[in-house]
Structure 1
Amino acid sequence: MLRLTQAPNIAIATLWADILCEAGMTASVQRQYLGAAAGHLPPDQCLPEIWLEYDEHAARARTLLNDLQNLPQRRWACRCGEMVEGGFEQCWHCGALMPLD
């Protein structure tokens, strides 16, 4: 087994592990409840960790997590007049899709 990375919280750790599993890499979350020991242990040792079952998946897993953490950010004006910012491709107000340039 290989420790891939630490996550900032249990929700993100679970999301990352699920995405890795969906991509065909066996991943698990470890230290998910160690946050309760914060104050007794150094904070950086209490974060949840993502572990891979097979070391050979490491490069692909790191690439996938990097892509997930660096989604393209956009700013576009919807035809309804709403300004949409961030990684969204659909207007939250009217549901229209981002126009293709």
Structure 2
Amino acid sequence: MQRLTQAPNIAIATVWADLLCEAGFQASVQRQHLGAAAGHLPPDQCLPEIWLTHDEHLASARALLDALRALPQRRWACVCGELVEGGFEQCWHCGAFMPRDD
């Protein structure tokens, strides 16, 4: 097994591990409950970690995770008047897709 990265919290660690698994990498979250020991252990040792089962997947999984971290952040107004922020291309209010600048 090979440690891929630390995540800032358990929610993000779970999302990253799930996305890696969907892409065909066997990934798991470790240290997910160690946050309770914060204050007794160094903070950097209490963060959840993403581990890969197969060492040979490290470079490809790291590239995918880097791409996930670099998703473009947008701010756009939907036709329904909703202001949509973040990496979303679809309005959560009406379901319309972000207009394209073609």
Question: Do the two structures share a fold, i.e. TM-score over 0.5?
Answer: yes
1:52-67 matches, within 5 Å, as 52-67=52-67
1:41 equivalenced with 2:41 (yes/no): yes
Aligned residue type for 1:35:
G
The CA distance in 1 between the partners of 2:52 and 2:69, in whole Å, is: 18
- Residues 35-60 of structure 1 show CA distances to partners (whole Å, capped at 9, x for unaligned) of 11111110100111111111111111
Structure 1, unpaired ranges of 5+: none
Aligned residue number for residue 29 of structure 2: 29
Q: Quick one: percent identity of the two aligned structures?
A: 81
Deviation at 1:98, TM superposition (A): 1.0
TM-score of the superposition, structure 2-length normalised? Answer: 0.88
The CA distance in 2 between the partners of 1:66 and 1:100, in whole Å, is: 25
TM-score of the superposition, structure 1-length normalised? Answer: 0.88
Aligned residue number for residue 11 of structure 2: 11
The CA distance in 1 between the partners of 2:82 and 2:54, in whole Å, is: 46
Deviation at 1:75, TM superposition (A): 2.6
1:73 equivalenced with 2:73 (yes/no): yes
Aligned residue number for residue 92 of structure 2: 92
Aligned residue number for residue 51 of structure 1: 51
The 3-state SS of whatever aligns with 1:15 is helix
Deviation at 1:92, TM superposition (A): 2.8
The 3-state SS of whatever aligns with 2:47 is coil
The CA distance in 1 between the partners of 2:100 and 2:69, in whole Å, is: 23
